[in-house]
Amino acid sequence: MLTTSHAFGGFSVNDLDAARRFYGETLGLDVSPGEMGVLQLTLPGGARVIIYPKPNHSPASFTILNFVVDDVGVAVDELNAAGVTTKIYDDDELPTDEKGISRGNGPDIAWFRDPAGNVLSVITE
């Protein structure tokens, strides 16, 4: 059994300044400098994630963060208005509409990428 006081996640980016702007300004999340040159991202609900620079960064090919929203369509419109592209998948196995929203295969969900290419989503529960 692991005894611990808390846990947090982390992911890499290739440009910490671009990540700070994207997560802090574009998405409006709480981003602050952390120890050892990382960023600390505080998510809605209080969970913390560190964002760390990695010179040989490879974007995550899976969804690293899911943002729960009341209406994916409204969230997609807000993201698109902020310059974020949400139509990142276009295949028969994962059909999405013209805005990049997958409907009818579980909860409504739309994926987008951060400046480092990591995959994020807005999703209903």
Confidence category of residue 118, pLDDT binned at 50, 70, 90: very high
Range 2-11 contact pairs with CB under 8 angstroms and sequence separation of 24 or more: 8/47, 8/48, 8/49, 8/50, 9/47, 9/49, 9/50, 10/38, 10/49, 10/50, 10/51, 10/52, 11/49, 11/51, 11/52, 11/60, 11/64, 11/118
pLDDT tens-digit map of 6-38: 888 999 999 999 999 999 999 999 999 988 899
Specify the pTM. 0.92
Tens of pLDDT, residues 35-66? 889 999 999 999 999 999 999 999 998 999 99
Domains with residue ranges and CATH for the chain? 10-123 (3.10.180.10)
Four-point Cα dihedral 43, 31, 19, 121, nearest 10: 10
Band (113; pLDDT cuts 50, 70, 90): very high
